[in-house]
């Protein structure tokens, strides 16, 4: 291909992309009807498929409900939602590629997901540069919504969950005040933004309130042998061990610790919240605590309605990812109704102006200019093979 031809095709692509950014949302449905395209990027395969499955289920439920109710009134016409789901395969580069595909090829007005921070951050960069809304249900790392170049909030990126500085403080205070831990050890994935970030926030607060971090050990994503790090931790005799790691990693870490004769309590973060943890960890995680986003036992009327509908549709209880995904769609639906347009900038502006949202996972308060909601979290305990409500923690 000649150089001039390459530039010609590149110019066409740029022009088409610019048109999509300014217009957004249009698409032909069945019988030529106009629909509103909404995308989902989820971890359907890879290292945390249970997270992707929960996200997909809640997304399909949210879209079915709004379509069954007739969709949205846009320019005097009813328009239903077409859901487009992309698998990021548990990879950062595929998260970015999936977001790009949904924006450039599928002309979505918004993207829900990814969930894990290490996948949400690269996807959020694509969304922000393309001026397309991205709402992550489960990514708690501050970098997801923060523009690294300006250190200011991204304009088009929002989340339905609390952030790690808050979660880290809650867990450090819980360890000191509730569990009476004087010293703590931490084991975390240094290659993952989520694990690394919350480990550092926990360490900072724990030390500020009089605790001592006796070991701060690391591993790398996909490691399976933690014996060297756990041996070092054992030698420091901690009162508690903090594992801000994913449900697919924690069981192996706890089981290896027990084989080494470590019998102190373990504390976790919201990445423990999948029911798969109970299956994989069995009795080894009995009695341990972790922070998360909501509990069915302390459910609000909004949450009870969601739980009942979810059980009816899928025959099982929703986890925190399902609830947060449903809240992400609830925020988007509110913004579309308030905007009255299937237009990306209009929907973004309407979303940014939502001062408070009463969701399944609690009341979310947004400050103008920030996509991070102010909201509470809960502490759950693994008890009798189930997740049991233990305490609320408010901002």
Q: Which two tokens stand for residue 325?
A: 């995904």
User: What size, in residues, is the chain?
Assistant: 395
pLDDT given at position 29: 52
Around Cβ 126, how many Cβ atoms within 10 Å? Answer: 22
* pLDDT computed for residue 27 by the predictor: 62
Instruction: Label residues 192-204 b or e (16+ Cβ within 10 Å = b).
Output: bbbbbbbbbbbbe
C-alpha–C-alpha distance, residues 6 and 273, integer Å: 49
The pLDDT tens digits for 83-128 are 999 999 999 999 999 999 999 999 999 999 999 999 999 999 999 9
Q: What is the pTM for the complete model shown?
A: 0.89
Q: Alpha-carbon distance 35 to 21, whole Å?
A: 17
Pairing between β-strand 356-359 and β-strand 362-365 as defined by DSSP bridges: antiparallel
How far is it, in rounded angstroms, from Cα 39 to Cα 113? Answer: 9
Question: In the numeric block, which tokens belong to residue 273?
Answer: 């919240």
* DSSP count for the chain of H helices, then E strands: 12, 17
Which contiguous run of DSSP H or E holds residue 178? none
- pLDDT in the model for residue 28: 56
State the SS3 of 24-70: CCCCECHHHCEEEEEEEEECCCCCCHHHHHHHHHHHHHHHHHHHHCC
pLDDT at residue 24, rounded to an integer: 59
- CA 269/CA 291 separation, integer angstroms: 5
What letter does residue 359 receive in the DSSP assignment?
A: E
Beta pairing partners, 216? 186
CB atoms closer than 10 angstroms to residue 8: 12
- Can you give the pLDDT at residue 127? 98
pLDDT at 367: 84
Q: What pLDDT, on the 0 to 100 scale, is given for residue 25?
A: 59
Low-confidence ranges of the chain (pLDDT < 50): 1-23, 30-31
Q: What is the pLDDT of residue 11?
A: 37
Check residue 98 and give its pLDDT: 98
Cβ atoms 328, 161 nearer than 8 A: no
Q: Give me the torsion for CA of 131, 135, 136, 142, rounded to 10°.
A: 70
At residue 219, the pLDDT reads 98
Query: What would the pLDDT profile of 268-289 be if each residue is shown by its tens digit?
Result: 999 999 999 999 999 999 999 9
Distance CA(120)–CA(95), nearest Å, equals 7
Per-residue confidence (pLDDT) for residue 14, from 0 to 100: 38
357: enclosing H helix or E strand: strand 356-359
| Pairing relationship of beta strands 183-189 and 212-219 according to DSSP bridges | parallel
């Amino acid at each position: 291909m000649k150089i001039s031809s390459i530039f010609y095709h590149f110019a066409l692509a740029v022009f088409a992309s610019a048109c999509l950014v300014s217009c957004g949302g249009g698409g032909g449905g069945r019988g030529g009807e106009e629909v509103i395209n909404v995308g989902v990027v989820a971890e359907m395969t890879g290292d945390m498929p249970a997270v992707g499955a929960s996200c997909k289920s809640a997304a399909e439920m949210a879209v079915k409900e709004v379509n069954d109710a007739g969709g949205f009134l846009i320019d005097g016409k009813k328009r239903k939602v077409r859901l487009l789901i992309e698998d990021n395969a548990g990879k950062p580069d595929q998260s970015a590629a999936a977001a790009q595909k949904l924006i450039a090829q599928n002309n979505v007005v918004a993207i829900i997901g990814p969930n894990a921070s290490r996948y949400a951050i690269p996807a959020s960069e694509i969304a922000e540069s393309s001026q397309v809304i991205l709402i992550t249900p489960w990514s708690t790392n501050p970098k997801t919504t923060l523009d690294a170049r300006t250190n200011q909030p991204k304009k088009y990126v929002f989340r339905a969950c609390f952030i790690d500085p808050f979660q880290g403080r809650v867990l450090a205070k819980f360890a000191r005040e509730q569990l009476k831990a004087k010293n703590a050890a931490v084991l975390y994935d240094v290659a993952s933004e989520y694990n690394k970030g919350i480990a550092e926030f926990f360490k900072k607060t724990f030390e500020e309130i009089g605790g001592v971090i006796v070991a701060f050990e690391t591993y790398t994503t996909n490691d399976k042998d933690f014996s060297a790090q756990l041996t070092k931790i054992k030698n420091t005799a901690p009162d508690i061990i903090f594992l801000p790691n994913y449900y697919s990693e924690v069981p192996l870490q706890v089981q290896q610790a027990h084989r080494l004769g470590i019998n102190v309590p373990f504390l976790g973060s919201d990445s423990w919240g999948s029911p798969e943890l109970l299956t994989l960890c069995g009795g080894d995680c009995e009695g341990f605590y972790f922070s998360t986003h909501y509990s069915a036992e302390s459910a609000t009327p909004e949450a009870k309605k969601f739980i009942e509908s979810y059980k009816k549709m899928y025959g099982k209880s929703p986890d925190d990812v399902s609830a947060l995904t449903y809240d992400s769609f609830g925020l988007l639906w509110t913004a579309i109704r308030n905007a009255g347009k299937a237009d990306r900038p209009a929907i973004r502006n309407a979303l940014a102006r939502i001062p408070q949202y009463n969701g399944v996972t609690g009341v979310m308060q947004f400050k103008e200019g920030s996509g991070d909601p102010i909201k509470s979290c809960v502490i759950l305990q693994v008890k009798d093979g189930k997740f049991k409500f233990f305490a609320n923690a408010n901002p």
